Structure 1
Amino acid sequence: MTAPDLIAAYPVDDRDLTALHRRLATSAAAEGLLDVAYRTVDSPVGALLLAATPVGLVRVAFAAEGTDTVLQELADRISPRVLAAPAALDRATTQLDEYFTGHRHHFDLDLDWRLSSGFRNTVLRHLATDVGYGHTASYRALADFAGNPKAVRAVGTACATNPIPVVVPCHRVIRSDGTIGNYLGGPAAKRTLLDLEQNS
């Protein structure tokens, strides 16, 4: 009997697959075999892929980045033991929901910073602490915060390669002339986030 014949003869209910997958994720986590858990969530800026390690949230990715591309990056840079395990990201999902409905102005999540290093890491850490909800800063101001006033282009690169957007709010960094500048999630997503914070 061929595989298609077996599938036709013994159909599997989606609920059974979901339950099996949940058991697999729970077992992998309990045995220390789950290095990267991920899930996708809907948001006002489109679907977001969230990924976490035992250290904390390591990746927030926009749909435009491509799920397969992001998962491959996580497998290459962190560990091939990557598994859809939505429950591992419940806290992050709840806080993002609260943020998108205007009820959360600060994220209280453990972050895994390993996908950024050097000056980029310094910039993103300053961004996470020094540019508050509803405020913006120029790339030049962020370079000042990071201790290198001349590194405006490097700040732009740090924002463009931010592995944890929204939570680490690179959308709050704008050009000195007041225009919003580029954004990995696209200009419409950046405008949506800025408007959300201005109107909450």
Structure 2
Amino acid sequence: MTNKLIILDRDGVINEDSDDYIKSPEEWRPLPGSAAAIARLNHAGYRVVVATNQSGLARGYFDGPTLEAIHRRMAAHLDSAGAHLDGIYVCPHGPDDGCDCRKPAAGLIDQIVADYGEVTGVPLVGDSLRDLQAGVARGCRPVLVLTGKGRRTLDKGFPPDLGPVTVYDSLARFVDQFLKDPS
């Protein structure tokens, strides 16, 4: 992997997920170890970006300024652990909007390619099949974490065209192994 980049989903990977959506900064709760894991990636020279579907915007559950406030809370939490994100890529559309950026479509990954270059072989860490499919469409290496909806995703199984998927209990466990062996 020539591009020292890691792509993460947000809800269920960095913070707790909710079937009712994360609608306010107060509802944003970090998963144990996620900030420290991102800090370890940062300190090892990796750029870390987030690609996240936020259909709560289209559904009217929260607005743009609220999403920005949620991301400020996340950034402050990461900063307190010595971590940072290099970018946050958001799909604001609903599932029926027909956009090209809502995962499993690869539009968010295309935006990351435009900003950071080739992503072939770059790990994309997510907790849902659609996260992994978006990454695989652009040559990313799919990594499933069992936090968030990850256990449910694993139980459903993967389609054969997804290719090999590595599975970890959490972002922290992935980072532990990845920094020992990035290949």
Q: TM-score, normalised by structure 2?
A: 0.31
Q: Which structure has greater helix proportion?
A: 1
Which fold has the larger relative contact order, with Cα–Cα distance below 8 Å and residues 6 or more apart in sequence? 2
Q: TM-score, normalised by structure 1?
A: 0.29
